[in-house]
Amino acid sequence: MILHDLIESFLRGIDGRVGKYLRRVYYRSKLKRCGQKLAIEPGVHILNPSLIEIGDNVWIDRNVVLIAGKINEKQANFKRIENQFFKGTEGEIHIGSFSHIGIGTVIQGHGGVFMDDYCTTSAGCKIYSYSNDLKKSRTGTLVDTGYILHPVMMERNVWLGLNCILLGHHVGMNTFVKPNSVITQHLPSNVIFDGPTGETKNREFDA
C-alpha cells in the first residue's frame, strides 16, 4: 500500500505526454476496467481504482478526485435512498466512453455513480452519492453521525456546467445543466435545467 501511494504521488506530478503515458500504463492494471486511449492529466487522485470502470476515449482533466469504496455496514449508521434508474453498483464509479471529466471535478462513489457515454463535467463540478444525514448530526459530522447513500445516474450525453453540484438522483439523456446549479431532484431527458431559477425547458438541437 505504501509503495503504491509513493508511485501514484510520483506519477501525479509528471506533466506532458510522458506523464499521460505512464499514468495510463499504471492505472490499466489497477482499474476494474480501463478502455482504450485513456488520458489522465496531472494532479488526479484516484482512490480504490479496483472499483472504478472507465470506457474508451475518456479524458480525466487536472486535479480531478475519484473516490470509490463500499461502506462498512457494521460500522456506519446510514440509510439508502433508492434510485430506480441506477444501472451501476454501490461503492463503484462507472465513466462511459467519450466522456470528459473537467478540471477539479470531485466524484464520490460510495453510494454508486454511473455516467453513461458522452458525458461531460465542466470545471469545479461535484457529484456525491454519499453524504451526512442532517437529522442525525447532533455532534458535528465526525462523531456519532448518520449518513445517506443515494446512487447517481447520468444518462448519455449529459453535460454539467461550471461548478454544478449533483447530490444523488438521475439526470436524463441529452440534458444540459446550467452553471452553478445544485441538483436535488430527478431531471428528465432532453432539457436545459437552470438550478438557480428552478426552470426546466426543452433542449433543441440544430439539424
Domains of the chain: 2-202 (2.160.10.10)
Give the model confidence (pLDDT) of 140-188 as tens digits. 888 878 889 999 999 999 999 999 999 999 999 999 999 999 999 999 9
Under the banding of pLDDT at 50, 70 and 90, the label for residue 136 is confident
Q: What angle do helix axes 16-28 and 2-12 make, rounded to 10 degrees?
A: 150
pLDDT top residue among 74 and 55: 55
Q: Please tell me the predicted confidence (pLDDT) of residue 146.
A: 86
Q: Please tell me the predicted confidence (pLDDT) of residue 119.
A: 98
* Most confident of the ranges 129-138, 150-159, 194-203: 150-159
Handedness of CA 124, 40, 45, 52 (dihedral sign): positive
From CA 56, how far away is CA 93, in angstroms rounded? 15
Under the banding of pLDDT at 50, 70 and 90, the label for residue 198 is confident
3-state secondary structure (DSSP) of residue 159: strand
For 23-37, what is the mean pLDDT?
A: 96
Give one DSSP letter per residue of 147-168, joined into a string: EEE--EEE-TT-EE-TT-EEES
